[in-house]
Chain A
Amino acid sequence: MPSKDKGHSSITSSDQELVLSSLERDQLAGVKKHLIPRRHLRGLEKFVLWSLRIYLLFMMLVVVYQVWIGTH
C-alpha cells in the first residue's frame, strides 16, 4: 500500500490511485532515490573520455588567451 509523505498530507487516496494507475513505476519521485548501477568503462571508452577532457582543458586555455589578447 503506498504511503503519503509527512509533508504531503493534502494528497488523498484518490490521488494515490490516480498516480499508481497513470504513471510508470520509474516515474515516481520516490523510486528515483535508487541509484542506477555504475557501468564498467572499457579501455577505448576511457581513452576517448580522457582525450576529450584534455582537448577541452587545452581549448579553454586558448579561449582565456584569446580574451587576454583581446582585452590588452
Chain B
Amino acid sequence: MGIGPLSRVTPQVVTQEDVVITHEDVDRAHDRVRVSAARAQRGVFSRFRLLWLLVGPGILVMLGENDGPSMLSYAATGARFGIGFFIPFVVLTFCMAVVVQEMTMRLGSATHRGHAELIFDRFGPFWGWFSMIDLGIGNFLTLITEFIAVRAGLGFFGVPPWAAIVGALAFLCLAVITHRYWTWERTLLAIAIFNLVFIPVALLAHPNWHSVGRALITWKPLPGGLSKDTLIIVLADIGATVTPWMLFFQQSATVDKGLTKKDIGLGRIDTVVGAALAATAAVATILATAPLFAHHMTAENFQAAEFAQALQPLIGRFGAALFALGIVEAGMVASVTISISSAYAFGEVARRPHSLNLPMAEGRTFYSVLFLCAATAGAIVLIPGLPLVYVVLLVNVVAVLAMPPALVFLFMLANDREVMGDLVSPMWANILTTGVVVFLTLAGVLFGISVIAPNIFAFLGGK
C-alpha cells in the first residue's frame, strides 16, 4: 500500500478500525487497477487509454461552469457589446480558471481530501464555517438559476415550467442512480459535451472570421468605456469562469475518482482540455448573439428563451432551437455538478460518507443533501411573482465577490508543505494566483463603487 504526502501529518499507526474496507474503497480500487494496467503498458494507444481513464473532473468542472447564467452572460455580452473586447477577455478568464483549478486537482491528488475537509482541519471550524456559508449561499443561488435556465430553455419548445423542473430533477436522479463514480462521470461527460452545441449556432450566425481573428489579436477597448453596465457584464463574464463551487467540486471529484500524485500531469491536461472546450463554447455563444449587436437590436431584457426567439430571424428556427437546447443542457449539467459539490462539502464537514461510489444505504446523508438542495431550488423557481431576474443577473457577480476569500484558502493550502510535501505550488503559480486574487478584488471594489456612487464613471470619463 502506497503513502502520500499527507501521511506525514496523519497517524502512522494504522489500526484495524482504520482499514475497514467499504464498497466505496472497492469500487475505487477497481478503477485504479485499470489505471495501473494502462500505465504499465507502452505505446501511444496505452497513453491515450491512460488519458481517457484519468480525464473527467477537469472537463466536467469547466463545462459545468458553462452553466445557465454563464451562457446567458455570454449571450448578453455578444448582443450588447459585440466581440471586440470580450472575446479575448473571455479567453483570459479561462486562463485564470486553469491556474486556479490546477491547484485544486493537485491538492486532491496529493492529500486525498476534499476542499471543505482540508479547510476545516487546517484552519479550524471558525474559518471553515465562513467558507461553507459562502459556498452554501453561492451554490443555492446558482442552483436556482440553473433551474431558471432549464425552464426558460424548454419554454422555447412549449414545455410548461412544472414539467421542465420535474424533468430536470428526474435527470439529476438518473445521473447518480448507478451509485458508481465512473458511470456517473462518463454519463455526465457525454451529456456535457453537448455544451459545444453553441458552435453550430455560431456558424449559423455567419460570423466575420476576419473580425474574430482581429479581435483576438488586437483586443479592442471596452465599447463605450467603463460604465456600470459594462462593469456588470465584465463581472458576470468573470463569474462565468471562476466560482467557489468549482474549487470544492474538482477537488472532491479528484479524490472520489482516486487520482494520486502520479496522475497530476494528466490531471493538468484534463483541466486544460476542459478549459479549452468551455472557452470555445463561450466564444461561440458570444459570436452567436453578436448579430443582435450588429443589427442594433435591444437585448437588455433578454433571458434564455427570448434570446433564442430574437435570434430566430437571423439564424433560423433550427439554430434558435439549438440555442435553447444548449441553455437547457447548460442548466441540467450544472444542476448536477453544483448539487454534488454541496453534497461533497456537507459530507466532508459533517464527517459523513461522501462519494458517488456509495450505495444508497451507506450514503443516505450524501444523496439526501444532493436531492434536497436541488428540489428546494427547483421549487423556488416555480413560485410565481418572485424577482428571479435579479438572481440571474447577480449570481455571477456574487460568485466573483466570493472568490478572493476562497482563493486565499486555496493558495495557503496549496503552499502548505505539511500536507502537500514536494507538491507545493511553484513560484510562477503563486504569482499568477496572487494576480488573480488582486484582479478579482479590484473588480469587486469597482462594482461596489459603481453601486454606491453611480456617477463616478461619468466623472472619470466613462458613461
Contacts and interface: CB of A to CB of B under 8 A. Distances in A.
B123 A15 contact: no
Given A23-B1, A25-B3, A26-B6, A5 B112 contact: no
A23 B408 contact: no
B170 interface: no
B208 to A, nearest CB: 35
Interface string A29-63: 11111111111010001001100110110111011
Contacts of A3: 16-17, 19-21
Say which size band chain A's interface belongs to.
35 or more
Interface in B329-378: 351, 353, 355, 361-362
Nearest to A7: B362
Interface string B234-251: 000000000000000000
Contacts of A18: 26, 29-30, 33
B258 interface: yes
A3 B17 CA distance: 7
B402 to A, nearest CB: 6
Contact of A23 (B16, B25, B448): B25
Contact of A59 (B26, B418, B448): B448
> Chain B contact residues (Cβ within 8 angstroms of A): what range?
35 or more
B60 interface: no
Contacts of A36: 6, 9-10, 111, 113, 118, 121-122, 419
B221 interface: no
Grouping DSSP codes into helix (H, G, I), strand (E, B) and loop, the B interface class, with mixed when no group exceeds half, is: helix
B23 A56 contact: no
Contact of B22 (A8, A63, A65, A66): A8
Given A24-B1, A56-B134, A58-B448, A29 B25 contact: yes
B306 interface: no
Contacts of A10: 23
B116 interface: no
A1 to B, nearest CB: 7
B347 to A, nearest CB: 10
Interface stretch (B73-81, B180-188, B199-207, B390-398): B390-398
Contacts of A32: 112-113, 117
B401 A53 contact: no
Given A3-B20, A56-B402, A66-B394, A49 B29 contact: no
Contacts of B14: 25, 31
Interface of A: 1-5, 7-8, 10-11, 15-16, 18-39, 41, 45, 48-49, 52-53, 55-56, 58-60, 62-63, 65-67, 69-71
18 contacts: A1-B16, A2-B21, A21-B1, A23-B28, A26-B113, A27-B112, A29-B20, A30-B18, A30-B22, A31-B18, A32-B113, A34-B18, A39-B122, A39-B416, A53-B130, A56-B402, A62-B452, A65-B451
Interface of B: 1-4, 6-7, 9-11, 14, 16-26, 28-30, 32-33, 36, 111-113, 117-118, 121-124, 127, 130, 134, 258, 260, 351, 353, 355, 361-362, 387, 390, 394, 397-398, 401-402, 404-405, 408, 412, 416, 418-419, 441, 444, 447-448, 451-452
